[in-house]
Amino acid sequence: MYNQSISPSVIKRLPRYYRFLEDLEAAGMTRISSAALSEKMGITASQIRQDLNCFGGFGQQGYGYNISSLKVEIGKILNIDKTKKLIVIGVGNLGKAIASHINFEDKGYELIGLFDKKEAFIGQTVRGLPVRSIETIDDFCREHHPSTAVLCIPKDNAKEIAYKLVKLGIKGFLNFSHYDLSLTYDNIVVENVHFGDQLMILSYNINNLEN
Amino acid sequence: MYNQSISPSVIKRLPRYYRFLEDLEAAGMTRISSAALSEKMGITASQIRQDLNCFGGFGQQGYGYNISSLKVEIGKILNIDKTKKLIVIGVGNLGKAIASHINFEDKGYELIGLFDKKEAFIGQTVRGLPVRSIETIDDFCREHHPSTAVLCIPKDNAKEIAYKLVKLGIKGFLNFSHYDLSLTYDNIVVENVHFGDQLMILSYNINNLEN
What are B1-31's pLDDT values in tens digits? 444 567 888 899 999 999 999 999 999 999 9
Backbone angles phi and psi of A63, in degrees to 5: -110, -15
Mean per-residue pLDDT, B32-44: 90
Which residue in A has a C-alpha nearest to residue B190's C-alpha?
A202
**Which residue from B101, B109, B207 is facing A199, i.e. has the nearest CB?**
B109
Chain A contact set for B209 (CB, 8 A):
171, 187-189
User: HSE (CB half, 13 Å, CA atoms) of B153?
Assistant: 23
Chain centroid to Cα A54, Å, comes to 21
Query: What local confidence, expressed as pLDDT, does residue B24 receive?
Result: 95
Chain A residue numbers touching B174 (CB-CB < 8 A): 195, 198-199, 202
Mean of pLDDT values over B80-109 = 94
For residues A163 and B62, give the distance between their C-alpha atoms in angstroms, rounded to a whole number.
37
* Dist. CA B172–CA A199, nearest whole Å: 9
Give pLDDT, residue B168: 96
The verdict on A182 touching B (C-beta cutoff 8 Å) is yes
Contact criterion met (CB < 8 Å) for A202 and B77: no
Asked if B5 and B54 touch (Cβ cutoff 8 Å), the reply is yes
**Cα(B195)–Cα(A193) distance, rounded to whole angstroms?**
8
Q: Is the predicted pLDDT of residue B92 greater than 70, yes or no?
A: yes
Mean pLDDT of A148-169: 94
- Give the pLDDT of residue A4: 55
| Whole-number Å distance between alpha carbons of B210 and B206 | 9
- How far apart, in whole angstroms, are the C-alpha atoms of residue A130 and residue B95? 23
How many CB atoms are located within 10 Å of the residue B31 CB? Answer: 16
- Nearest C-alpha neighbor of B104 from the set A156, A151, A200, A204: A200
pLDDT band at A105 (very low <50, low <70, confident <90, very high): very high
pLDDT value at A67 more than 80 = yes
- Give the integer Cα–Cα distance in Å for B143 and B132: 14
Give the residue from A17, A160, A151, A140 showing the smallest Cα distance to A77.
Answer: A17
Find out whether A151 and A162 touch, Cβ atoms under 8 Å.
yes
Lowest pLDDT segment from A173-182, B57-66, B93-102:
B57-66
B126 pLDDT band, cuts 50/70/90, is: very high
Longest dimension (CA), chain B: 62
Whether the predicted pLDDT of B137 surpasses 50: yes
Contact B57, B119 (CB under 8 A): no
Q: Are B113 and B136 in contact (CB under 8 A)?
A: no
pLDDT of res. B173 = 97
Task: Name the most confidently modeled range: A42-56, B76-90, B175-189.
Answer: B76-90
Residue A61's pLDDT band, with cuts at 50, 70 and 90, is low
Mark B146-182 as b/e (b = at least 16 C-beta within 10 Å). Answer: bbbbbbbbeeebbeebbeebbebebbbbbbbbbbbbe
Nearest one of A98, A108, A59 to A177, comparing CA atoms:
A98
Instruction: Find residue B129's DSSP bridge partners.
Output: B126
Tell me, letter by letter, the H, E, C secondary structure of chain A.
Answer: CCHHHCCHHHHHHHHHHHHHHHHHHHCCCCEECHHHHHHHHCCCHHHHHHHHHCCCCCEECCCEEEHHHHHHHHHHHCCCCCCEEEEEECCCHHHHHHHHHCCCHHHCEEEEEEEECCCCCCCCEECCEEEEEHHHHHHHHHHHCCCEEEECCCHHHHHHHHHHHHHCCCCEEEECCCCCHHHHCCCCEEEECCHHHHHHHHHHHHHCCCC
What value does the mean pLDDT take over residues A153-179? 93
Q: Please check whether residue A189 is in contact with residue A171, taking contact to mean a CB–CB distance below 8 angstroms.
A: yes
Residue B130's H or E segment, with its range, is strand B129-133
Measured in angstroms, the CA of A177 and the nearest CA of chain B are apart by: 11
Mean pLDDT highest for which of A65-79, A91-105, B63-77, B133-147? B133-147
Chain B closest-CA separation from residue A59 CA (Å): 23
Q: What percent of chain B has pLDDT over 70?
A: 93
CB A121 within 8 A of CB A91: yes
Interface membership of A26 toward B (CB under 8 Å): no
What ipTM, to 2 d.p.? Answer: 0.92
Distance CA(A147)–CA(B57), nearest Å, equals 43
* A15 interaction partners in chain B (CB closer than 8 Å): 194, 196-198, 200-201
* B35 has a pLDDT exceeding 80: yes
Average pLDDT over residues B114-132: 96
Confidence class for position B51, pLDDT limits 50, 70, 90: confident
pLDDT at A136: 97
Look at B172 and A205 and tell me if their CB atoms are within 8 Å.
yes
What count of Cα atoms within 13 Å lies in the side-chain half-sphere of residue A27? Answer: 10
Non-local (6+) Cβ contacts of B3 within 8 A are A208
Model confidence band, residue B58 (pLDDT cutoffs 50, 70, 90): low
Q: Which residues of A touch B103 (CB under 8 A)?
A: 196
Rounded Cα–Cα distance for residues B19 and A135 (Å): 32
pLDDT at A1 over 70: no
pTM for the structure as a whole? 0.89
Please provide the average confidence, as pLDDT, over all residues in chain B: 90
Q: What is the mean pLDDT of residues B80-100?
A: 95
